[in-house]
Each structure stands twice: as structure tokens, then as C-alpha cells.
Structure 1
Amino acid sequence: MIKPIKQSIKKLVYPLYPILNSPPDFLIIGVQRAATTSLYHYLTEHPQILVTHNWRETYYFDNPENYSKGFGWYLSHFPSKLGKNKKLTFEASPSYIYHPHIPKLIKQDLRTIKMIAILRNPVDRAYSAWQMYHSYSNLPLKHLRERADDRSFAEAIDQEFNPESNTAKYPYNYINRGKYVQQLENYYSYFDKDKILVMNFATFCDDLGSSLKQVCDFLNIEHFSQQAIQKFQKQKYAAAKYVISSDDNQILERLQDYFLPYNKKLYSLLGSRYNW
């Protein structure tokens, strides 16, 4: 009885949040399995950043049910304008870059907000994502078990390549999530390029200090101390280790060839070449 009453009170208060609360100053928009969780946690420890919601994601722009609750509901996750002072606030959702309708909604609700995207070799990203979903079947949480992918990697990729397959591709989309050039072109149709910081996952992992300096410069905040960076280098979030079977290696080689033209267009779009 108490919970419905609290929910009703919150609904009455939602219209006040655009007046009382601050919208996010920036977003981490992707990609899945590319250190977005790590970057989120590192930034929450920055003295010039304030986070008040319990999860890195609000599931606002990528969940129609939440979006229908209105902008006030979204702002209820962020700090008050008075309490925020001059600090920055943000959220991180690796799905925001993927869904084609989202940049229009972000532009509509958040105007010229800054965004950060970390891109990972699409072949490695696909295999890491499959490993993640495949492991869900052994987890105690029901909502994760329901999203488990019990297929082999070969089965999953073959079905995604097959246009006649009736197997649901979402939320997996191992192939299409790696077509970054299409996703960024969509964002660039709504936002200037200088509003989106695009980073390479490999560089982020290999040179964390330089990568975080780039992020801080983009956000116009102070650099992390060397002590903080050394601490972060020992912290890994959502990391996974796995052994690639010989059968899976063949599928990965197939994907490597498949993504070549998409990666080539991506390099041209960014004016920068990755070793993919």
C-alpha cells in the first residue's frame, strides 16, 4: 500500500523537476562492451562531478515506457540546481548510440549536450557481447536469465546473417551494433562533430592516463591526479576473460572480412584510422 502512494506522490512532483533539477551536462552513449562502465565509475570519483541516481543508466531515451513518463521523470534522477552548484552530472548508456531514434530525442530534450562514445573493434565487441549474454543463463537474477543467449556463437551469427531467420535479434544484435559508421552518421545529422568525443577502446585500455586527460579536456574539468589514475588502473568493471575456440575463430575471421567496408567508411568519417 505504501509503495503505490509513494509512486502517486512522485507523479505529482514530476512537473516540478524541470524547474528544480539540473539536466545532465553530458552523456556516455556507447558502445556496449567497450569500457563504458569503467569510464562511468572513474568519472563518478571526479571532484567536479556529481551523480545522484543509483544506476549508470536511467533507461529514458531507449525505453519507450520510461520516455512516456516525461522529461520531469527523467530529471528526477539528477541533482537539484541548488545542490549541484558548479559540478557536472551525467549518465552512461551503451545503448544510446545504437537505436536510430535516440539522437533526435536527445536533441529535442537536451539540445546541444556533449557526448562520449568509446568504440571497440566490432569483431571483438560482438564476441564479448555473446560471452556476456551466454553467461546470463547461470546467474541468479531472473531478469538477466530471461535475456540469456543459449545459442552457440556460430548459431547466433548465422541467424543474424540470415534475413529469413525468425529468431529475435534484440537485445543481442551482435552484427548491427558494430556498424558504428551508420550510428555516428545518424548522430552527426543532429549534432556537430565537436559535441561528440569518439575514443578507441584499445587506446583507452592501453593508455588510461592519456585517455582520461582527453575526456577531462573535452568536459573542461581538471585532470585526474596521477594517484587516481594509478588506482583506476587496478580497477576493472564488467571485465571478462574467455578462451576462443577454434570453431569460434572461424566465425571471427568471417566477421573480420564482413566489417572491413564499414570500418573503412568509419575511418573516413572520423579522419582517424584504428587497427581493426
Structure 2
Amino acid sequence: MKFTQNKNCVLFPNFLIIGSAKAGTTSLYYYLNQHPEIYMSPVKEPGFFALEGQPSTAKTRSYQIANLVEYQGLFRGVKEEKAIGEASVKYLFDPHAPHRIKHYIPQAKLIAVLRHPVDKIYSKFLHNIRDRVEPIQDFALAWEAGKQRLQDPNSLRRLQYPRIGFYYAKLQQYFDLFPTRQIRVYLYDDLQENSLEMIQDIFSFLEVDSSFVPD
């Protein structure tokens, strides 16, 4: 498996970690980055396929990328690696990302790690408290407020808790666009309890040496 190029010989990744948030994708990113046959974007969470063409005000983090040329620049360091990837958890829940990925890199392999919805939502709540964007300190009350926030177009999406953690419809967007053989879905529990087995299965999926053991 070689790196993916479009007809103009522009470099793109050939695999993506598409989600989900609070499900160990940062650990997965670092495990994969250790493999000598894998190149990972030096920026985690560039979010290009969710943000393409949007103004800078749409970016919630300074390192996010909405410009194609800037995105391509993430992969200038590719040498002889077989698997070229990046990780952006925005892709699982963004409605535009699946179609943009299909447009630019239709042969890409896609990896999703899912966490139990209740655990994920509570973790997100704590993250919001830490970032001082959640004014409600009680989780049950914040959940109820999240229901109202779903109706408010000005509400931060990260505070709309009922929207978080419902995977079926979001994954179905990808299964509708990509062959099943290009998609792998894992559970966060597997990463926690059988991390080496899961990581080596991903190595096999990416067609790199599956005997490699990351730190």
C-alpha cells in the first residue's frame, strides 16, 4: 500500500482515524506513530475534511486546518512509509466529512474507536468543566440543559450532550460511501484491556509489519 496521490500528484493520507472523542485516539495516534512503516501527521486533529473552505472563525483550535495547501503540507515529511495517516475525531460526527473524504481519498482506510456512550458523555462533561465552558457543575442538570441546547443554533456543540455518543447514524454515513473492507471499528475497552492485540490488528489492516510492538 503506497501513499495516496490525486491526479495532480498531491499527497494525501491513505488512512484516517475518524473518531471518536474521549475514546483513546490520542494513545492510538502515538502507538501508530512509533511504527517505522507508518507516517502520522505531525498535527493531531487537523480536522481538514470537516473544515475545508470555512473561515478561521469556524476553527475551535489554533492547529486546525481548513486550507487544502496547508493540509497537504502536513505530509511533506513522508519518506518510504507505507501507511500515511492522520487522526481527527471531528470526522465521525461532522456531516460533510464523509463526502469530502470520499472525494479526495476514496481508497482510504478508516478507523473508528468507540466508547460506551454514558462514559463518553460524562468524560466530555468533565472536559467542559475543566475548560470552563460548562457553567453547570451537576452532571444531571447539565444533561437536561443539553437537551435545550440542541434547539439553540448558537449553543456550543460540545455542550449538546444528547448528541454525543450516538454512533449508528454517523457510522452509517461511512458504510454508505465506503466498502466495508476499508473500515475498522474498535471498542475503547479493547484498547484499555487488550491494547497490543488491537494495535497489531490495526497494523495488519494497514498492511504493515504486524509483529511490531510499540512502547
Change (3 A) 1:90 1:164: closer
Please, what is the CA RMSD of the aligned residues?
2.4
Provide the secondary structure at the position in 2 that maps to 1:209.
helix
Deviations 1:134-190 (A, max 9, x none): 1113xxxxxxxxxx2222322321022237854714133322221100101111111
Q: Which runs of 5+ in 1 are unaligned?
A: 1-16, 138-147, 232-276
TM-score normalised by L of structure 1? 0.65
Aligned to 2:69: 72
Change (3 A) 1:99 1:206: same
Aligned to 1:234: none
Q: Which has the larger radius of gyration?
A: 1
Q: Which runs of 5+ in 2 are unaligned?
A: 1-5, 57-64
Aligned to 1:54: 42
Which of residues 92, 95, 116 is equivalent to 2:90?
95
Aligned to 1:250: none
Aligned to 1:190: 177
Distance between the aligned counterparts of 1:79 and 1:87, measured in 2?
Answer: 14
1:124-135 to structure 2, matched below 5 A, reads 124-135=119-130
Provide the secondary structure at the position in 2 that maps to 1:50.
strand
Provide the secondary structure at the position in 2 that maps to 1:29.
strand
Provide the secondary structure at the position in 2 that maps to 1:117.
strand
Q: Quick check: 1:212–1:224 contact (8 Å CA) kept in 2? A: no
Change (3 A) 1:224 1:36: farther
Which of residues 157, 169, 192 is equivalent to 2:143?
157
Aligned to 2:61: none
Which of residues 193, 200, 204 is equivalent to 2:191?
204
The structure with the largest strand share of the pair is 2
1:252-267 to structure 2, matched below 5 A, reads none
1:214-253 to structure 2, matched below 5 A, reads 214-226=201-213, 228=214, 231=215
Provide the secondary structure at the position in 2 that maps to 1:39.
helix
Shift of 1:101: 1.5
Identity score, percent: 28
The structure with the largest helix share of the pair is 1
| Correspondence 1:34 to 2:23 | yes
Which of residues 161, 172, 196 is equivalent to 2:159?
172
Deviations 1:179-233 (A, max 9, x none): 100101111111112211000111111001110111011101112544x3xx3xx
Higher relative contact order (CA 8 A, sep 6+): 2
Change (3 A) 1:156 1:213: same
Distance between the aligned counterparts of 2:7 and 2:79, measured in 1?
Answer: 14
More deviation, 206-215/173-182: 173-182
Shift of 1:86: 4.0
Aligned to 1:23: 12
Residue 210 of structure 1 aligns to which amino acid in structure 2?
E
Distance between the aligned counterparts of 1:187 and 1:65, measured in 2?
Answer: 26
Provide the secondary structure at the position in 2 that maps to 1:42.
helix
